[in-house]
Chains A and B, each alone.
Chain A
Amino acid sequence: MKITLLDYGAGNVASVERALERLGAETKRATSPECISNADALLLPGVGHFEALIRVLDARTLRAPLCEAIHRGVPFLGICLGLQALYEASNEAPELTGLQLLPGRVCALPPVAKLPHMGWNRLVIKSRSLLLENIDAEAYFYFAHSYAAIEQGQETVAVCDYGTEFVAILEKENVCAVQFHPEKSGEAGAEVLRNFLRLCK
């Protein structure tokens, strides 16, 4: 089983790659629609602006093969922007359409606390999470974002509270996504990735 990482020029592709390789996983970078269609498991890393991600997905015609693979049941993990991209749209770039796999819009975090929400925070677990197996409920994860999915759904298994509660982990059939950066979250983050690798088998 090889994990295919969507490489659209985001800064954290290499970090995610290294984190997975440390766990013994094989990785491959995908830049073409064919690579995505043939993937056993997909990972959408992301950091930065919603617009940058969506524009590259569309410019390289990666949107359709990505949605198709997800509908086919290919294991998928979205990280940070990779979580936000699953929704209908984001207020960070209101004119663009997200992948629309989940209802709702991504919104700016309320300015009641310092933004970006940058640093180590804990989660509030809402229901049993496969990605959090064997992880202390008090564990810290590294976040770096100003926008978030604030509306919770059935798929929301953990939230984080920073000015408001927002989706920190979602799990729905073959789709998993996290708002934090597991590749930057020390041991706890490595365990999240290990749990995803287990789901891919």
Chain B
Amino acid sequence: MTLARRIIPCLDIDGHRVVKGVNFAELRDAGDPAELAARYNSEGADELVVLDIAASRDRRPTFLETIRRVAAELAIPLTAGGGIRSVEDARAVLRAGADKITLNTAAVARPELISETSLEFGAQAVVLAIDAKRDGDQWMVMVRGGRDSENLNAIAWAKQGVALGAGEILATSMDRDGTKSGFDTALTAAISSAVSVPVIASGGAKVPEHFAEVFTAGRADAALAASIFHDRIQPIRELKEFLSSRGIVVRLPC
């Protein structure tokens, strides 16, 4: 039996609020995290991701409070990340109510963070988030919210992350993020065939056809999007019905 392909709304959090931006810039307010969480929980989202885009030390208590408020609304899994630098940071996020953490910049700087958190909380709790940007015929890893480039191949990094204990890869295309021109299916397909864990595709979604593409040609196990869900451009149930009509297994009724 196959697992249902997951539809995952993502809340980018700045303090107490959900924000949205284009290519990781030009932020604007997109609502209250707990209200959006409750809506997605009842509309059939399969999971929710919350990311602390500020990821600064002094704002940490605010983000943890947001996780608690969001978790209280959910009967589906919650993934939280942004600024996790240690096992203790991860523990605080999980204790606040998240089921999984995402690691990004700090794992690039110190890959052992992946094995440390995986040993402590299990591989199923550790998602390696990779922000990838196309460079010629390959994808390179970007860090610090997509601002800086690392001399690191995204596919090789995904493989290394899984070898170190990551249980899932969240692959964001920096080229597509915010553009609404469709997922980078070549990127997700390349990662999906390189690793043995589930891959979440992110960046560029607008229409149901984009999701169908990323689940077929892109070989993604889950697809993540933000503004099309926040702005009610794309109702989740309708999206799932479309995917189901294309023969893609999704959780319905949800």
Chain A 105-150 interface residues, beta-carbon cutoff 8 Å to B: 111, 114-122, 124, 140, 142, 144-146
- B251 & A140 in contact (Cβ 8 Å cutoff): yes
Query: Are B3 and A186 closer than 8 Å at their CB atoms?
Result: no
Query: When A118-B168, A184-B75, A184-B76 are in contact, do A144 and B3 touch as well, CB less than 8 Å?
Result: no
The answer to whether the Cβ of A87 comes within 8 Å of any Cβ in the partner chain is: no
A47 contacts B by Cβ under 8 Å: yes
B4 touching A121 by the CB < 8 A rule?
yes
Instruction: Assess whether B1 is interfacial by the CB under 8 Å rule.
Output: yes
**CB nearest neighbor in B for A14:** B97
- A164 CA to B196 CA in the complex, in Å? 17
User: 1/0 per residue A1-38: CB within 8 Å of B?
Assistant: 00000000001101100110010000000000000000
Q: At the interface, is chain B mostly helix, strand, loop or mixed?
A: loop
Residue of A nearest to B3 (CB): A119
Known A11-B95, A14-B95, A15-B97: A160·B1 in contact at CB below 8 Å: yes
A22 to chain B, nearest CB (A): 8
Residue in A117, A181, A190 whose beta carbon sits within 8 Å of that of B3 in the complex = A117
CB of A48 within 8 A of CB of B121, answer: yes
Given contacts A120-B251, A161-B1, A162-B1, contact A114 B221 (CB under 8 A): yes
Contact check, B197 vs A120: say whether CB atoms are below 8 A apart: no
Contact between chains at B1 and A48 (CB < 8 Å): no
Interface residues in B, total, Cβ within 8 A: 32
Q: What total of chain A residues lie within 8 Å of the partner, measured CB to CB?
A: 37
Residues of A within 8 A of B167 (CB): 116, 118
Among A11, A183, A185, the residue within 8 A (CB) of B125 is A11
Q: Which residue in B71, B75, B95, B124 is a CB contact (below 8 Å) of A144?
A: B124
Partner of B99, one of A11, A140, A190: A11
Query: In the complex, which residues of chain A have a beta carbon less than 8 angstroms from the beta carbon of B71?
Result: 14-15, 18
**Min C-beta distance of A112 to chain B, whole Å:** 10
In the bound complex, residues from chain A placing their C-beta under 8 Å from that of B1 are: 121-122, 124, 160-162
Given the known interface contacts A11-B95, A184-B77, A186-B254, the answer about A18 and B124 at a Cβ–Cβ threshold of 8 Å is no
The 7 closest A-B pairs by CB, nearest first: A48-B122, A119-B3, A144-B124, A120-B4, A140-B251, A161-B1, A116-B124
Given contacts A11-B98, A146-B123, A183-B75, 12 further A-B contacts (CB under 8 A): A11-B121, A15-B71, A48-B125, A114-B198, A115-B197, A116-B198, A140-B254, A144-B77, A144-B99, A185-B76, A186-B75, A190-B75
Binding site for B on A (CB under 8 A): 11-12, 14-15, 18-19, 22, 47-49, 111, 114-122, 124, 140, 142, 144-146, 160-162, 181, 183-187, 189-190
